[in-house]
Amino acid sequence: MKRIAALKKIAFEKANFDSYLIFNPSNLTYFTGTQGASALLIPADGECTIYVYGVNYEQTRAMSKGFSVDLVKRGEDMMAKIAEQLSQQKTKKLAIDFLGVESWRVLLKHVRGKTRLATKPGIASRLRAIKDDDEIELMRKAAELTSVGMKTAYEILNAGMKEIELAAEIEYAMRKHGSYGTAFDTATSSGSASAFPHGGCTDRKIREGDLVVVDIGAIYKNYRSDMTRTLVVGKPSKKQQEIHGIVKQAQEKAFSAIKAGSDAHDIDFEGRQVIEKAGYGEFFVHGLGHGVGLDVHEPPTLNPSSKEKLQAGNVVTDEPGIYLVGYGGVRIEDTVLVTMDGAEKLTIGPYGLGNE
């Protein structure tokens, strides 16, 4: 219940709301410790209530301690139940993390003007951005499993293999060693498709001389990791080696600047300037990184317009890239823990093109 107490400090003592209502699945997992809940109402005073449909009711009761669990029966209107609870608690100002337009209208109709609604996703995301010791250990394990998958990619990649076959072997290796699933759709884009940052994987056969961008992540007990390497089938060309070397230098430069107190846009600048000075600035088409945790993309964001400051306990990616349309792309990425005096790479493994 420490997380609930921390949220109450922000939502009630600092922001002056009477209750906080959570719908986002990852936020629900973060605060309740389980999956399957549909909503969580946290009042300033009194018991917190989890709303859950029948299919997940018994699991939620068994796994969530310290909460009232309210069954939403078939045909019942959950928003009406929530509105009734708000009325009983005399909630006048309600903060909500995330809610779609239609659901918002339904809830607004049920509260009948007695409760003011406001979306405040930042209250939960501020807490989730700083990982506690237990979360960090789970993320270490997720990163370890991801690194196993990448090691497999280096070992088995060969000409004639389909992108989907490479992805399947990587995912199998991660699962076999303990992964609960993939953090996102595995990407093994090859050839000219490697120039697409979100290239995915297809039934294309990988050819000799192809650049292959392998972007993978494992899940361990709900927590995720994110890792990318770029490989070449066969002997890399001088141009491939040159681009890869620039991206690796950019990644190292950015990593050396990561520490608590650093401005996120400055970290992006450190990596970006290496690529710009090498003449490839226009081909680095995304931010340097993003936060990772229960979601694969969460705060803080490391890009040129970011106004965030890194804090100890943040877990972020460091992933510069160069993408030459019609030729191919190179990206190198690690999941990184921010510490008071620097940073620690949670993902490990080789960095080369695979055949040096």
Q: Is the pLDDT of residue 349 over 90?
A: no
Q: pLDDT averaged over the chain?
A: 95
Closest of 124, 119, 183, 186 to residue 152, by C-alpha:
186
Q: Are 20 and 42 in contact (CB under 8 A)?
A: yes
Residue range(s) of every CATH 3.90.230.10 domain in the chain:
133-345
Which range is least confidently modeled, 14-18, 243-247, 326-330? 14-18
Distance CA 188, CA 167 (A): 6
Distance CA 44, CA 304 (A): 38
Distance set, CA 252 to CA 52, 268, 313, 338, 345 (Å): 46, 12, 20, 15, 11
pLDDT tens-place string over residues 32-86 = 999 899 999 999 988 999 999 999 999 999 888 889 999 999 999 999 999 999 9
pLDDT tens-place string over residues 319-331 = 999 999 999 999 9
Provide the greatest CA pair distance for the chain: 71
**C-alpha radius of gyration, the chain, whole number:** 23
Mean pLDDT of 255-282: 98
Q: Are 331 and 347 in contact (CB under 8 A)?
A: no
Residue range(s) of every CATH 3.40.350.10 domain in the chain:
2-129
Q: Is the pLDDT of residue 154 over 80?
A: yes
pLDDT tens-place string over residues 285-319 = 999 999 999 999 999 999 999 999 999 999 999 99
Count CB neighbours of 56 within 10 A.
19
pLDDT at 355: 55
pLDDT at 113: 85
**Architecture (CATH level 2) of domain 2-129:** 3-Layer(aba) Sandwich (3.40)
pLDDT at 14: 83
CATH (residue range 133-345): 3.90.230.10
Distance CA 339, CA 55 (A): 41
Distance CA 160, CA 300 (A): 40
Q: Is the pLDDT of residue 356 over 70?
A: no
pLDDT tens-place string over residues 170-179 = 999 999 999 9
pLDDT tens-place string over residues 184-203 = 999 999 999 999 999 899 99
Q: Is the pLDDT of residue 243 over 60?
A: yes
Token pair in block for residue 232: 């070449």
pLDDT tens-place string over residues 64-74 = 888 999 999 99
* pTM attached to this predicted model: 0.94
Treating both helix axes as pointing N-terminal to C-terminal, what angle do 264-277 and 238-257 enclose, rounded to 10 degrees? 150
CA 331 to chain centre: 18
pLDDT at 289: 98
